[in-house]
Structures are given as structure tokens and as C-alpha cells.
Amino acid sequence: MKLKKHNHIELIALAMLLLCFNSCVESFEYESKDFEKLIIINAVITDEVKQQEVHITNTTPIDEHYVSPETNATVIVKDDSQNQYTFTEIEPGKYMSQSSFGALEGNKYSLHVQTSNGRKYYSKQVSLISNKKPVSIIPKRIVNDDGIIGVDLLANSYDETNNSKYYKYEYEESYKIIAPLWVLQDLVPNPNTPSGVTYHLYAKETEQETCYSTVNSNAIIQTNTINLTEDRVEDFSVRFIPITDMMIAHRYSILVKQYVQSRDAYAYYEKIKESIEVPGNLFSQAQAGFVQGNMLSETNINENVIGFFEVSTVVSDRIFFNFEDVFENDTPPKYDCPKIAPLIFEGIGDYPLVSFLTSGFKFLSLNDENPGDDEGPFILVPPACGDCTVLGNAEVPNFWIE
């Protein structure tokens, strides 16, 4: 009897302990204290010959979410062969080189910025690393650690010269959207008719069945091969998409850019990334602090300057796949498209059908099979079910291949 009691208590205590270990992390309202406005200067000059970009912004208080651009700055990239590339502001905080150029191996580059109020910043000298090696992307169906089925987009690259070692990825993903309950006609109400509201069915004038959407990556994705016997990136997961994501329901394409970084640049972004990630475990919290990049202030050496000036080789790979190419035996995700048949008139000033139509609901069909008492004459579906432009753009992207 007694032993049983022990077990019971022990279970409760442990359960509580574990409960705590797993869920004693909670959000709290944080008030921004001591806001310091700092400048952020970021640029990646690639080996591609193009108009290169430099981004200059400022920090904002932590509880405010907007971009605070640094405008009207003078931006120059210099190399050690006495070349100077001047940048002009094309939109607030975004500066583009007046001429096209690409970073060359053997040259040392530095960035020089002077703000409109006279503060001067400069970068340490950086140079291009190694020769270019191609990257290939492979989609693969997996079940991840959390038991979720999805597609992993895996990067593979090999540098037999063993020079690259540090890699950063950016991607741009595009996908086809098909409105599942698309019909030819639109139902259009005319509230100005003298005898109340009249409804017309018109043929759709724009493409609403098939659309496309393109999204850019917004995370810092990096890997390295320093602990490996060869400089081989093998099946590195650049992106994971769960099977339930509508993105991959039909056809999907991803363009992955692989940048080769310097050790310092890699370390800088790694630290930035760590500073916003959930700590490895509850018991040890990484020491937070200011992450120093390679941008420095000429006017005030005590000023904290954020950002990194990189030169990098870049390679890319674009792939396309259909849902069934990756998921042979799985069912594709579907939109939830409930059908409704709102009444035309429900009381003085209350026209449910008009309300639904103006909020974007789409016509599906006539409600002609024994409509109930509270049903109207037309069947409607939620906007995305009948019109793909709600989610994307009807124009076929120029890179798109069916």
C-alpha cells in the first residue's frame, strides 16, 4: 500500500517538474528601455556583374516594427586597384551602384559611407573567396523530428579545392495557385435598381483560376563544412515545407542562391541568428551582447555600428516540382471551401447576399435543388476558393516552366 502511494506522489511531482521544464517559458510585455538609435550598414557585393546594392537603415525601439531608412548618404565602394564605385539612393535606405560591376578575385574591397549629418563609417577590407562551385537542390519527402510530413529542399555542393567552407543561402520560392471552385461567371449585384437589388451573372473578365506567388526567404540560413573531411555540402536543408502547406499543392519552384562567405562574415551572421533564437535549453542562456560586424565609425570610435560588408561568389539553382512528384502516395492539401446560400433580404436594410458578395465571396452556382427556408437562390464560396488573385498574381512569371 505504502509503496503505491510513493509511486503516485512521485508521478505527480515528476509530471509537474516536466510540465515546468517544457512550458515554463512564457511571454511577457516588454517595455522598451533606453532606446539607442544605431546605424545598420549591410552589403553583399557579388562576383556577378550587375548594379550592386548597399542597404543603410537605423534601429527602431523594440516595441515598434518599422524600417527606419538612412537617407541621403554618400556611399562608395573602393578596391585596392584604385577603382571607386559610387552608389545612389534608389529608394529610401537602398543604394545602387551607378555602374555595373562584379567583385574580382584578388582585389580587396572596402565600403565608405557618410551620412547626411556628417558621420563617417568604413568597413574593414574584404576579399573574394575561392572559385565558384555549382549548387544543386533536391526536394525530398521526409518526416521531421516533430513527426510532421513535408518536403525538405536539400542543397548539395562540392568544392574539391577545399576553399569554400562557409555557406549562406537565400531563396525565392514561387508556386502555382489554383482556385478550386472557380466558375466562368461572376455574380454582380446592382443595388441601385428601383425595385430593390437585382443580380446579374457576367463572364469573368480577368484570369481568376490559376495564379502564381513569389516569396523571398527572410531567415539567416548558413552551413559550414569545417568539421568534415571534404568541403561537401550534402543534403543541407535550406527549406522545409509541411505537406499541409497550400504552396506545394500544385506546382512549386524555388531559386536557391548559395553565397560563399568569409569566416568572419559567417561568424557574424551566426551570432546574429543566435541572438534571436530560442536558447538550446532552459538551463543555459547564451550571453547576449552587441554583435560587432566589420563596419566601424570613423567619427566616434565608441559608436556601435551594426552590419557587415561582404564580397562573395554566388551560384544558384532553380527547380520545379509538382505535388505528386514528391508525394507519391499522399493526398494534396485542400482549401476549406464551405458553401453558403445567403438570403437576399432578411429585414430592413439587411441584405446578406450583397454583404457577402462585397466582402469577396464568389459565385459558384444556382441554389436550385430544393432550397431551404433560410437559404437564398445562389451558392457562394469564400474568396480564395473562387478567385486565385486573392492569394497571388495571375501573371505567369517569366521563369516559370510547366
Partner 1 sequence: MKKYLLVIFLVLITIEVKSQSTQRVFSFDYSNKTLEQIFIDLEELTLHKFYFFNDWFNKDLKSGSFKDKTLEYILNSLLSDTTINFYITEDKRVILTKNSAIYNFLPDSFSINKEKPLEQIDSTIVAEKKEQLPVFFDDNRANKAASIRTIRIGKANAEQKREKYTLVGTVNSFKSQKPLSDVTVKVIGSSKGSVTDKDGVFSLELPLGESMIEIQSLGYEKIVGKVFIYSDGEASFDLREDSQLLDEVIVEAGVDKNVKETVTGLTKIDVSEIKTIPLVLGERDILKVATTMPGISKAGEGSTGYNVRGGKEDQNLILLDDAVIYNPTHFFGLFSALNPFTIGEVNIYKGNIPAEYGGRLSSVFDLKTKKPNKTKFSGEASIGPVTSNVSLEIPIIKEKSSLLIGGRGAYSNWVLKALDDKKISKSSASFYDFIAKYDHEINENNNLSVTGYLSNDDFSISSDSLFSYKNKLVSLKWKSIINDKNTGSLQLKSSSYLFDILYDGEAVNDFKLGYDLNETELKLKVNYLIDDDLELDYGLTGKLYNINPGNIEPFGSKSIISNIKLPKERALETAAFISGKYDVNEDLAFNAGIRYVNYSFLGEISQRTYVDGAPKSTGTINETLFYDKNEVVKSYGGPEARVSARYFIAPSVSIKASYNNMYQFIHTLSNNTTASPIDTWKLSDLNIKPQKSQQYSFGVFANFNDNLYEVSLEGYYKKMNNVLDYKVGADLLLNETLETEVLQGKGKAYGLEFFLKKSKGKLNGWLSYTYSKSLLKLDSPFPEEVVNKGEYFPANFDKPHDLSLISNYKFTKRFSGSMNFVYQTGRPVTYPVGSYYQGGQEIVVYSDRNKFRIPDYYRLDLSFNVEGNHKIEKLAHSFWNISVYNVLGRNNPYSVFFVNEDGEIKAKQSSIFSIPIPTITYNLKF
Least Å distance, CB 68 to partner 1, is 8
Contact status: 57 vs partner 1 (CB under 8 A): yes
Which of 131, 193, 275, 358 contacts partner 1 by CB under 8 A? 275
Size of the site for partner 1 (CB under 8 A): 83
Residues paired with residue 172 on neighbouring β-strands, in sequence order: 216, 255
Residues paired with residue 319 on neighbouring β-strands, in sequence order: 254
Site for partner 1 in 278-307 (CB under 8 A): 278-292, 296, 301-302, 304, 306
Least Å distance, CB 114 to partner 1, is 20
Residue with cell 512569371: 397
d(C-alpha 173, C-alpha 337), whole Å:
25
Query: Is the Cβ–Cβ distance between 113 and 56 less than 8 Å?
Result: yes
Site for partner 1 in 22-51 (CB under 8 A): 22, 24-30, 32-38, 40, 42
List the x/- string, 87-116, binding to partner 1 by CB under 8 A.
Answer: ------------------------------
3-class SS at 322? strand
Site for partner 1 in 236-255 (CB under 8 A): none
| Cβ proximity to partner 1, 90 vs 288, nearer residue | 288
Q: Write phi, then psi, for 373 (nearest 5 degrees).
A: -65, -35
| Cβ proximity to partner 1, 90 vs 215, nearer residue | 215
Query: Is the Cβ–Cβ distance between 88 and 71 less than 8 Å?
Result: no
Residues paired with residue 365 on neighbouring β-strands, in sequence order: 379
d(C-alpha 103, C-alpha 127), whole Å:
8
Distance, first Cα to last Cα, the chain = 71
| Options 81-89, 172-180, 268-276, 374-382: segment touching partner 1 (CB under 8 A) | 268-276
| Cβ proximity to partner 1, 260 vs 388, nearer residue | 260
Contact status: 160 vs partner 1 (CB under 8 A): no
3-class SS at 10? helix
Q: Write phi, then psi, for 298 (nearest 5 degrees).
A: -85, -30
Least Å distance, CB 245 to partner 1, is 15
| Options 45-53, 143-151, 320-328, 360-368: segment touching partner 1 (CB under 8 A) | 143-151
Site for partner 1 in 169-208 (CB under 8 A): 170
Closest by Cα among 81, 58, 99, 130 to 303: 58
3-class SS at 295? strand
| Cβ proximity to partner 1, 192 vs 229, nearer residue | 229
| Cβ proximity to partner 1, 203 vs 278, nearer residue | 278
d(C-alpha 315, C-alpha 269), whole Å:
19
Which of 48, 51, 53, 61 contacts partner 1 by CB under 8 A? 61
| Cβ proximity to partner 1, 69 vs 332, nearer residue | 69
d(C-alpha 264, C-alpha 364), whole Å:
58
Contact status: 145 vs partner 1 (CB under 8 A): yes
Site for partner 1 in 359-398 (CB under 8 A): none
Residue with cell 515528476: 14
| Cβ proximity to partner 1, 63 vs 105, nearer residue | 63
Closest by Cα among 390, 350, 374, 361 to 179: 390
Contact status: 60 vs partner 1 (CB under 8 A): yes
